[in-house]
Every structure is written in C-alpha cells, then in structure tokens.
Amino acid sequence: MALENLGGLAMHIILSKLRPADTASVACVSRRLRTWASEDDSLWFKYCLDDLQFDSPQDPEGNPLPSFKVAYQAWREAFIMYPWSLVIRAKRCWNRMKIWLAANFPEMVGTLRKGASEDEIKSLEKILKIKLPLPTRVLYRLCNGQELNLDELSGRVPQNLVGLIGGYSFYDHRVNVFLLPLELVVLETKDIIQHLGFSSRSQYVVVAASCPYSEKIFFLNCSNSQLYVGTRNLTTEGDMLPCVPDSLISSVHDSKGELQDGMLLWLEEHGRRLENGIIKIRREGIVRGINHFPELPPLCPSAITHGVKVRASAVFVPEFSNLQNESEKFLFAYSVRMSLLPEGCITNGTKFNSCQLHLRHWTIRVNGTVVDQVDGEAVIGKFPLLRPGNEEFVYESCTYLHSLPGSIEGYFTFVPGRLAEPKGSPFAVQVAPFPLELPDYIF
C-alpha cells in the first residue's frame, strides 16, 4: 500500500489529524499500520490531553498506567456504557472547576471525592426507585460529590466555607451549598421526600443543600431532568423553582443526540461564572467561601463620587421567596461595597484623608416605577469611616419585590473627617442602579 510506504514522521502527522476511533480503525488495516498507531504514544498523549485533559497516564481512579494508549483504553472501557462525547464534556466541566479551585481556593479541592462506581450508582437507583439522567450519572462517576467534615455536619461554622456551589449571607442568614455524595443523596432524599409528603413514586432526589443549615435544598427531577430549588413554601406547598432554562434540557435517558440535563448545565454555568470572575472568593471576618454576589458590571455597577467608590449587586434568595404572597413574592439580598480612593475624598476643591457615612437614601423600582423610597441613618446600624488603603466596607441587606424586573439606586451622605469632628460640609455619594432580576440560572 502507498500509505505504508510513507515514513514515520509523515504517518505521525497523518494520524495526529485523526480522532482516536479512526486511529484504531487504521490499526486494523495492516500489521505495519498497527505498529504505527499503537506504538506512537505521543499520539495517545494528544488524545488523552484533548479528550480527558490529563498529561500523565492514569486510570479513572487516578492510578498511574504504563502508557497513554493504555490509559485511553482504560477510560473508554470504564465508560463504555455512556456516549463518549458526554464523558468528555463532563470531564471538562470538573477539570475547569478543579483548576480554578486549585488556584483560588485550594482548601476546597480536598473535599472533592473520587468518582463513584457504576455499582454504587445502581444501588442508589434501586433504593430510591429512580433512574438518574445520563449526564448526572457521568458527573457522579467522575466525582462523587463532597466530603463533609464534622463542622459542617454538626452546625459549627468552620473557618472556610467549602461548599462547592457557595452562597451568601445577610443579617443572620448564611447559605453555603455543598454537592452531596451518593450516600447522603440517599439519606437526605428519603428523609426530605417523606417530610414533604411526596409520593413514594416521586422522581425527585436531593443533590445539593446548604450546610449546616438546610433551608436551601436542590432537587433533581429524574423524570424531566430539570434541577429545582425549594422556595419558602417548600415544606407546606412543595413549591420549587427551575434552576436552568427548560429549553436547554434535552432527552437524557437514551444515548442519542446532545445530552444535557439540569445538573450538567448548572455545574457548567457555575464553572463559567468562577472562571470569568463574575463571582469570587470573599472573606467575611475569619470565614472564606465562594460568594454569589456578582463582582463585575453590568450586574455589579460602580460609581465614584468625590473619591468615594461604591459597588453594589444583588442575588435572588429563593428559600425566602413566597410565590403565593404578592407582597413577599421575590426576596433579593444585596451587597454594597464602599471604599476611599488612594487620593482621599475631594469636595469643594479641598482634599480630606477620611470621611464617614451618615445617611442613606434608596429608590426601589419595579418595571421602571418607583415602589419605595427609604431614608435613614447609617447602614445596618453602622457608620463606616473610610480611609485610603483600607479594605472595602461591605454590608448586606435585603428587600422584597412583588414583581420583576426591579432595581435599586440611591446615594449616601458622607461628611469629611469624622461625624464627631467634621472637617467640611456633607456631600452625596452616588450608588449606581443595580438590577434585581430572576436569573436564568439559580444557585
């Protein structure tokens, strides 16, 4: 054959353009082609890197293997019951989050468990009498949720809030959402479904929840493959909200076409928000965790007035939203961050190296119409003193809306120097309008 007469370099270039399945087919043509396709491990390194994103040969358990060809074969055999394109996609989803966590929150990496076995997944399905959508099965085969330590399980607040999904806090309410391992999926589902009075044939399973508090719970509906989050009326009316757009979910109980369920779409979007810096790690006192208050425009606009910078953003709080009560239908928590630029504040041509907040004024709109205006002293009872170089002063509060979309804007009144010893006349600091909207993805 003319192909066999080519040199090794030429064959390497040709084979490197093929997909692994095509390379395997070429190996069946002749002994010489089989030698090229099998013994050129740099080809299989490329396939492992492209498909599975690892650069040292290993099996699905992370154990080292003698070659990349052997590693690729081990992965294909371990996931032979799933569409390979789905395995690649789920693996990339996990890899993206693990890479981000290793760089930004390494404490959390150690909480991610090794993948579950096929037998463990089948055991869950038998106990709960459900069939997990294929994408969720693959996700758990690659990572069996998170390991919860004694602090999370006992209710003590640890130094690091290592819930993979993260959360928020305002007043005395703290959310820190973990992805549950299969054994807790079984326990929590049996407990919560019974508590909610769902039918024994219910197709809902609990896949994520806030720990140590349990007010925020995420359910995967194994029938329609949508992910849901409970509302304030979860325990009384069973009210839930979908977490991803219904239009994106495809049939996920067979292996035809592009498969994506609510769980895969949700985790992919979470990884995208982390990678793009939309949400970040935030420290509150001694506690660190993934914080859901957006950090970038347009969800987090900023304004600078007289050297005072104010940023603000909001998150939807489904667990306190009462969809059956017009006045408390949608609850939003909002976070306001204020700081003084290095050059200090300048008002009426005079520079000051400190200023202190005195008053606040909020204007709340729904569908462009003013529904409330709030005037008062301080913020959550505090009168922050701003100085150049200090960390942002951050505070959180909340508000209910009867309809959407909404927005908040306003201004703070500061005095140069200190309230007890003002150095000049009070001045207003703008808070740019920030949105209160029901997001496409709810976390």
CA distance 116 to 234: 30
The two three-digit tokens of residue 402, written as one number: 């009867």
What value does the mean pLDDT take over residues 396-407? 96
CA distance 178 to 136: 16
- pLDDT per position as a tens digit, 279-335: 999 988 778 999 999 999 999 999 999 999 999 999 999 999 999 998 899 999 999
pTM of the entire predicted model: 0.89
- pLDDT per position as a tens digit, 321-359: 999 998 899 999 999 999 999 999 999 999 999 999 999
**Beta strands at 406-416 and 427-436: parallel, antiparallel or unpaired:** antiparallel
Unique residue bearing structure tokens 């081990």: 74
Q: Among 250-264, 272-286, 312-326, 378-392, which is the least confidently predicted range?
A: 250-264
Rounded to the nearest 5°, which phi and psi values hold at 121?
-65, -45
Per DSSP, the residues of 203-227 read -EEEEEEESS--S-EEEEETTT--E
